[in-house]
C-alpha cells in the first residue's frame, strides 16, 4: 500500500476528490496518510481532520528561508514514510533540490492542457482568464510529474473540456474541476500506486 501526502494551500477541493476516490475504491493500493498546508487555517486541513488524516502546517515565514521551509516538509514526508507527493492547489514553487530528492514521486494537477497556459504566473483563476482572453474552444486539465520547471514535468494524463459561449473564468474553472481535474488526478494517483507508470525519454508510459 503506497502512502500518499497531499500538499495544499486552500479549500482542498482536489484533496476531497482524492479522499472520495480512495473511499470508493478508485484509488487502488494507495492511502492518503498526510496533508500538509503552507497556509494556516486552510479549509483543506479541516477536510483532513474530518477524515482522520494526519495533517501539519509549515509556514515559510516561520522557517526563515525556502531551504528551511522545504527541509521541514521533507522531514514530515520522511517521518510518515510517504511514497507519493500530490500537489493539489499548493501555491508555493518547490526548488530543484526538493524535486530532485523525490524524482518521479511528485505529481501536480494543472487547470489547462499543457503546454497551453502554464508555467510561471499561470495558476488558479488566472489560467482560465487567459484561456478566455485567447478565445480557445477547448481547454482542460493536465496531471504531470513535477520537476524544477513550473509545469515542466512529464505529462501523465490530460482531459479536454469544452469552452462554452458566455463562460466566465469562474464558470470555466468549475467545469474544468468537475469534468477533468477531479477525474484524472485520482486516476493518475491510482496508476502510480499500482506501479503502472514508467518514464522513458521524457514520455510517461502506462502499463497494464
**Domain residue extents for the chain:** 2-206
Q: What predicted TM-score, i.e. pTM, was given to this entire model?
A: 0.95
Say if residue 93's pLDDT is above 90.
no
Q: Given this model, what pLDDT does residue 112 score?
A: 97
Domain spanning 2-206: CATH 2.60.40.420:
no
The verdict on whether 110 is a catalytic residue reads yes
**Model confidence over 183-208: pLDDT tens digits?**
999 999 999 999 999 999 999 999 98
Say if residue 11's pLDDT is above 90.
yes
Q: Given this model, what pLDDT does residue 178 score?
A: 97
HSE-CB of 69 using CA atoms within 13 angstroms: 16
Q: Given this model, what pLDDT does residue 121 score?
A: 85
Selecting among 104, 110, 128, 144, the annotated active-site residue is 110
Q: For residue 23, what is the enclosing H or E element?
A: helix 13-24
β partners of residue 155: 144
Helix, strand, coil percent content, the chain, rounded in steps of 5: 40, 25, 35
Q: Given this model, what pLDDT does residue 191 score?
A: 98
Q: What's the rounded mean pLDDT across residues 154-167?
A: 98
Amino acid at each position: 500500500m503506497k502512502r500518499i501526502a497531499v500538499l495544499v494551500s486552500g479549500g482542498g477541493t482536489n484533496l476531497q476528490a482524492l479522499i472520495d476516490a480512495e473511499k470508493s475504491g478508485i484509488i487502488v493500493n494507495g492511502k492518503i496518510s498526510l496533508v500538509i498546508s503552507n497556509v494556516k487555517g486552510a479549509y483543506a486541513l479541516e477536510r483532513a481532520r474530518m477524515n482522520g488524516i494526519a495533517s501539519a502546517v509549515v509556514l515559510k515565514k516561520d522557517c526563515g528561508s525556502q531551504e528551511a521551509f522545504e527541509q521541514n516538509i521533507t522531514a514530515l514526508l520522511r517521518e510518515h514514510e510517504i511514497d507519493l507527493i500530490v500537489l493539489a492547489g499548493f501555491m508555493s514553487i518547490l526548488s530543484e533540490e526538493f524535486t530532485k530528492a523525490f524524482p518521479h514521486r511528485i505529481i501536480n494537477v494543472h487547470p489547462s492542457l499543457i503546454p497551453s497556459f502554464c508555467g510561471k504566473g499561470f495558476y488558479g483563476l488566472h489560467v482560465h482568464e487567459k484561456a478566455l482572453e485567447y478565445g480557445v474552444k477547448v481547454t482542460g486539465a493536465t496531471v504531470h510529474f513535477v520537476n524544477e520547471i513550473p509545469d515542466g514535468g512529464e505529462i501523465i494524463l490530460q482531459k479536454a473540456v469544452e469552452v462554452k459561449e458566455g463562460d466566465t473564468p469562474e464558470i470555466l474553472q468549475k467545469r474544468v474541476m468537475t469534468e477533468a481535474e477531479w477525474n484524472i488526478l485520482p486516476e493518475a494517483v491510482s496508476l502510480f500506486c499500482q506501479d503502472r507508470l514508467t518514464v522513458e525519454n521524457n514520455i510517461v508510459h502506462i502499463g497494464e
